[in-house]
Amino acid sequence: MQASSNQPFSPPGTNYCTQSSIGPVSCSINFNFSDPTGRNSVGGQSTATADFGSITGFLVGGGTNANLSAYYQSSFGDYVTVLGGSGEGTLITHYHLVSSDSEQGLPPSFAVPPLYRFLQGGDAVGHIPDLAHIPVDNPMASLTEDFDVTSPVIFGQLIPLAAGTRTDYNFAADGNFGVVLVTTASAQLTGYTVLDSNGRILPGAVVQRSFSPAQPDPFAPEPSTVWMGIGGTLILLANKRRRRPSAQSKHTAPDHFRISCRQY
C-alpha cells in the first residue's frame, strides 16, 4: 500500500507498507500530508489483510486544497492439487465478494470499484464489480455477489491458485471544505466443485494445498493483465463522463473537484 500527495509528508507515521507470508498477513498505514500553515492537507488510512482463502482491503482518504493518490492491494496464493479422480477434469472455485464505496463532499455520480484478480491453473480472470450509487444522489454504494472461476485440471498435478483485490485512486480537493472517499473490498473462497472428464460432479474430490514458499501472484504482469487494466480504465472514465452531467444537475457542488481511478 502507498499514499502520496503534492503536499509534504508529515511525521509521525509512514506512507508505505508491504508484507508477504505463507500464513496470515496484515498491513496498515496512516498518512498525513500538509503545508506549514495546515490549510492545505490530505490524509487517511489504509489496511489490507490476507490468509489463504480470504482477502480484505480498506482505504479512506480526504482533505482540503490538496492532491492525494493512494492504493491498496491484497492477495493470497499457493499451489494446490486436485485429488479424487484420474486424467483430466474441471475445477470450479466459488468466491463471495463484497465491495463498497462512500463519498462525502463529492457529487456521487460514480463509484470507485475495486479490481479482483483470480489465477487458477493456466487461466487468469479479472472482475470489476458493477458498483453504482443507486439512487444517484446516495453517497454510499455497496454490492455483494458470488463469483465462480472455472479451469481445466489434471488430477494429481500441482496448479497455482490465487486471488487478489486492488483499488487505486487519486483526487484533488481544490475547495475550502473537506472531501472524503472510502472504499472497501473483500473476497472469501467459499468452496470447490470438481467435475470429471465427462462433466459429472465428483463428490469425494479433495483440493489439497501445498504450503509452498513460492506463492503465485494474481497481479503478476502478463499481456492479458495489461489489456484488462486498460479496458477497465476506459470503462470507468466513460461511465464518469456519461453520468457526471446528470449528477451535476441535481447538486450544487462546485466542479473543481477532480477524481480518477486506475485499475491494474
CA distance 55 to 25: 10
The yes-or-no verdict on residue 66 having pLDDT over 70 is yes
Q: pLDDT tens-digit profile of 179-212?
A: 888 999 999 999 999 999 999 999 999 999 999 9
The DSSP output letter for 212 is -
CB atoms within 10 A of CB 135: 8
8 Å CB contact between 26 and 18: no
pLDDT value, residue 239? 31
The yes-or-no verdict on residue 252 having pLDDT over 60 is no
Preceding amide of 12 cis, omega within 30: yes
Q: pLDDT tens-digit profile of 215-239?
A: 999 999 864 333 333 233 322 322 3
The yes-or-no verdict on residue 22 having pLDDT over 50 is yes
pLDDT value, residue 247? 31
Specify the residue for cell string 480526504: 62
pLDDT value, residue 128? 97
Most confident range, picked from 61-65, 114-118, 135-139, 243-247: 114-118
What average pLDDT score do residues 95-119 get?
89
Question: By three-state DSSP, how is residue 235 classified?
Answer: helix
Instruction: Return the closest-CA partner of residue 215 out of 36, 21, 17.
Output: 21
CA distance 149 to 227: 19
pTM across the whole model: 0.82
